[in-house]
Chains A and B, each alone.
Chain A
């Protein structure tokens, strides 16, 4: 009875119901506006306007159902606002609007994790098709939809893959704050992302997406209704990213505890800041670009239509002006986790703190100056290719800073090969391969062959999957004991690591070679002599997928069945979050802590010995 009663009110259930009502309302409204005239319907003869309105009103209904309108409406009516979103206990927090940053972090972990699994499943289906040189499993449209869904899902949802769960949860704690600067916006970013992910899935019902994650015009103008799901998805993701970035920036700028000066921030916070800057500056470009695509598809404008005076190059430029910072939005949090974990498991201070910070900020700055390296053979601005070649290769300087700081931190440490440390070390190897293959793509003569081939695909999987996803798992094994209070099983974790690491390299290493041998991306057929290599890659990819299932088994087994208590500090870490109880109490600290000069006070000869607490006063409230 209490179970049923707890579901009454503003939560996921009411949100889904209102979202569905809003969807049909928008659909109906769209048909009322457009009437029977086909003039509105673009090239495809389908009613894009109705679908956009359906998505828009549906999302608004979803948010109202979650209770985002309660506070402003009750204020307007002059009543004391409901504080239900600040509810402090109970499992219903996790399926409702909750402004506790730790609840939002766990919501992100589960929500984004689910979408990563869907995206990964798409990859398995793609590799299944590529077992033979000829089409055998999916028809052309389904194959392209799988490719597009995999790419769009991963590039869209994983933007917040590390910032969502770990930065929301730990950045306020690390800077000594009790909450984010804008808690309700923080919750909004999560629920927008979930609505967006669902909208992307609906493209399956509307004929799929034929364009890949890049959505190039004029192909996207030809595409049928499924393309609108792509536009709505990425616009919502862009909105979520902008808000998340601004919220993080304001939080770190304004809410640092006494003593937490800029030079004392942990590296994970620096990774978050540099990512947030990119999010706040690049994502609005994406939103406006997609607005223009939506206008082209509905109101018959011609931004990207060369007959109407527009240009497909405009789309390519706008998209990659967002798209290149985007890939560093994916990479920088991984660097943050890497440099956060290496001192803990090498038992040493971070080597070259200022150099590492310079590296992160330098990557962020340079990432805005390189986007035309995606267009080296496109025929636009051929004269400026040497500039973009230079600026692209310059990015390897700040990336080199990250590497040298990581290497220096390992030097003469006492390296403990725990599961998070294994994932962090794998990051170094994977990102090394990813970075070196990137040099071929940045060099125009070499890019002529590698552009648009499996080589470039393998390159960005090495940097994004090898960088971001390995760091993501490092973060999970490192921080989930703190978030839940239970350890993840070590043996299963090591099996997961080794299978994932070997299968990952066995998948994408050969793909670099296959790309060099001339297989283009996103094709459903390929040259017969490449079949052996493609079968090898597909089988490795299935093993890689199986390693994810192993992780899922470990996650559920450790947290639901085994429940081995983690204690407050399972890793002997000196970060502030590990001086707090596990899981962290609702208000984080009784008193705001003050911070000492070194975020990583490890090392022989440092006063207090090996398990010295950092200079904070973490008041420990009752559990």
Chain B
């Protein structure tokens, strides 16, 4: 029964069966567990994006693995037997055209889909000083990278600069990421936010967090000796807790604020204070 079908039909059948088995696993288990988790609006969009990519990849992966394993097991010849040649096939135009068509359509779909996802929310990535995907009524928070820590300024609260990052929940936030020295990268993993901190550049990334939680912050761009220690924990709190926290910070740092430069979108590095 098996032998009445050709090799091509068998590979096609095995690929279809494999894909049908793999897809539910990908959609219902792997996809929802993709990073960075669904705590924020951009996190949602990234998880959805990763799931779609996985679904698109599944048939290709299954096909190539099934094909190679089938070929190796079925067309295998004993190394010790005398040399005999295989079929003299130099190409097959219909399969070449089909492959070209399928991969082209897939690639164009992926590019359009990715662009649409990117343009709708900004996807949490740093968009430079003139963002294309904007959020209205966003709370601006400046993230200042320096060797080797992040500090945070809240321009709507008098530019107070704090050592901890605290965010209000359900409030669109605009991170303005900049640096005082080398290139850093502000990565809030659970929020799905990453933006490079360049000296003299205001790099904007948007996010809205949906629930109160803590999150990890790490520097994701090699920035020198203590790069490995440039991490921190941020907090997402309710908006009343946030208000009381920020007023407390304003009082706490009122003295030192007099010596800080006034709030600006970016700061020029001072070479005399550079590490070496």
- Which chain B residues lie closer than 8 Å to A523 at the CB level? 218, 227-228
* Choice from A135, A312, A379 contacting B128 with Cβ under 8 Å: A379
Name which residue of chain B comes closest to A453, CB basis.
B220
- A603 and B86: CB pair below 8 A? yes
| Residue on B nearest A403 in the bound complex, by CB | B64
Residues of A within 8 A of B123 (CB): 444-445, 448
Which residues from chain A contact B187 at a C-beta distance below 8 Å? 452, 520
A141 within 8 A of B: yes
The answer to whether the Cβ of A121 comes within 8 Å of any Cβ in the partner chain is no
For residue B119, give the distance in angstroms from its CB to the closest CB of chain A.
8
Interface-lining segment among A185-193, A243-251, A389-397: A389-397
Contacting residues, chain B, for A353 (C-beta < 8 A)? 90-91
Q: Which of A216, A349, A385, A602 is in CB contact (< 8 Å) with B221?
A: A216
Known: A378-B198, A572-B83. A307 touches B126 (CB 8 A): no
Contact A518 B87 (CB under 8 A): no
* Interface flag for A33 (CB, 8 Å): no
CB-based contact A407/B67 at 8 Å: yes
**Number of B interface residues in the complex (CB < 8 A):** 100
Choose among B68, B78, B86, B183 the residue that contacts A347 (Cβ–Cβ < 8 A): B86
The reply on B275 being an interface residue by CB < 8 A is yes
Contact status A222-B276, CB under 8 Å: yes
The answer to whether the Cβ of A36 comes within 8 Å of any Cβ in the partner chain is no
Q: Which of A379, A383, A411, A451 is the one whose CB lies under 8 Å from B198?
A: A379
B118 interface residue (CB < 8 Å to A): yes
Q: Complex Cα distance A428/B76, Å?
A: 17
How far apart sit A523 and B83, CA to CA, in the bound complex (Å)? Answer: 53
Report the nearest A residue to B181, measured CB to CB: A218
A347 touches B35 (CB 8 A): no
Q: Of the 9-residue stretches A79-87, A98-106, A160-168, A432-440, which lies at the interface with chain B?
A: A432-440
> Are the C-beta atoms of A400 and B103 separated by less than 8 Å?
yes
B residues 56-100 in Cβ contact with A at 8 Å: 57, 60-61, 64-65, 67-68, 71-72, 75-79, 82-92, 95-96, 99-100
Q: Which residue of A lies closest to B45 (CB)?
A: A445
Q: Check if B158 is an interface residue, CB within 8 A of chain A.
A: no
B132: A residues at CB distance < 8 A: 382-383
Residues of chain A lying within 8 A (CB to CB) of residue B128: 379-382
8 Å CB contact of B88 from A380, A386, A525, A605: A605
CB within 8 Å of A: which residues of B?
7, 34-36, 42, 45-46, 49-50, 53, 57, 60-61, 64-65, 67-68, 71-72, 75-79, 82-92, 95-96, 99-100, 103-104, 107, 110-111, 114-115, 117-119, 123-132, 177, 181-183, 185, 187, 189-190, 192-196, 198-205, 216, 218-229, 231, 268-269, 271, 274-276
Question: What are 23 A-B contacts with C-beta separation under 8 Å?
Answer: A135-B228, A140-B226, A140-B228, A216-B183, A351-B90, A379-B203, A390-B111, A393-B110, A397-B107, A407-B71, A410-B71, A415-B72, A416-B78, A417-B79, A444-B117, A445-B118, A446-B53, A449-B35, A518-B216, A522-B228, A525-B228, A527-B216, A604-B87
